[in-house]
Amino acid sequence: MKKLIWLLLPLALIVGYVTREKAVVPISQVVSMGTSTTALPTQTQTPVSLSIFPSSIQQGEPAEIVINNIDATDIKSLTFNGKSVGVFMYNSKPTGFIGIDLKMAPGTYPLILTLTDGKTAKKDLIVRKRAIAEAPLGIPDKLGGNTSASEAALVATLARENAILAAVPTASTMLWSGPFVLPLHTAIVVTDPYGYTRLTGLSTISHKGTDFRAAEGTPVYAMNAGTVKVAETFVEYGNTVVIDHGLGLQTLYMHLSKIEVSVGETVEKGQEIGKSGQTGYAEAPHLHISVKIGGISIDPEKFLELFR
């Protein structure tokens, strides 16, 4: 028996050596040899997702779309209701913003994120109906007074000027940085809110901006950095400045008494660009601010709540 044990001992040592050697074969070699790796631990990747702020959105408001658990370089496109949305870094996350048109039908609309590898992430955005007030607004004497002829001229001129402003181009890159600031350093008093309907004669005109109280000659400041795309006088909008911030975002400053920038000029956040007034379709000195996202005028106060 002892003789048998001594004969088997060398064989056991050889088997143990082979067993230990197999245990340290690199995983890459195990895979290449066709050995199953199902027993190896796996890492669970957090799925890509879309977050919408605010959670409740109504007609005429902006929305912030935050893309979670993905690098910006892995993003191919972001669309809302089939329309492309610019993506930028904000608070260290890929972010986009969209504008809901004042006349967009309430309902559910798709947000679709497409990655460079072809995968997609989807989320529905629900648009709620906005309560729209109505109020009469006459035509000042400088524009012909309250006559049917002045009303027809007003409506036609507004259509032409809106077409000009709608054609203002935007940069394909982000030109601003950080939060947006108020355009006035004085106490902020809203005299006419965004979204209500002005009843002028037989015409109804939507107010797609916010009017702030500002005495004649009050300094007006750029809400963020960008490029001046418009600096001219319109019949209805008066002295107007349009700043393009890139990626479809633009701020408009109207009824100014004086313009202090020129087309093509690069402006910084908080830079003085003009002075408030009552030029154009205005009955008293004030500052009219419009904010456009992708060509859609949205509520400036709601925009500042998101990005200020």
Give the sheet arrangement for strand 83-84, strand by strand.
57-58, 120-128, 107-115, 75-80, 83-84
The 10s digit of each residue's pLDDT in 211-268 is 999 999 999 999 999 999 999 999 999 999 999 999 999 999 999 999 999 999 999 9
pLDDT computed for residue 20 by the predictor: 36
pLDDT value, residue 268: 98
Q: Which DSSP string do the residues of 189-205 spell out, in sequence order?
A: -EEE-TTPEEEETTEEE
- How far is 69 from 89, CA to CA, in rounded Å? 13
The amino acid sitting at 276 is S
**Amino acid sitting at position 307:** F
Local structure of 292: helix, strand or coil = strand
Strands 120-128 and 57-58: parallel
pLDDT at 308: 84
pLDDT at 16: 43
Contact status, residue 294 vs residue 99, Cβ threshold 8 Å: yes
For residue 46, the model assigns a pLDDT of 84
Length of the chain: 308
Query: What pTM value is reported for the model?
Result: 0.84
Is the Cβ–Cβ distance between 100 and 127 less than 8 Å? yes
Q: What is the pLDDT of residue 35?
A: 28
Cβ(87)–Cβ(96) below 8 Å = yes
Q: Which residues of the chain have pLDDT under 70?
A: 1-44
Helix (H) or strand (E) run with residue 149 in it: helix 148-166
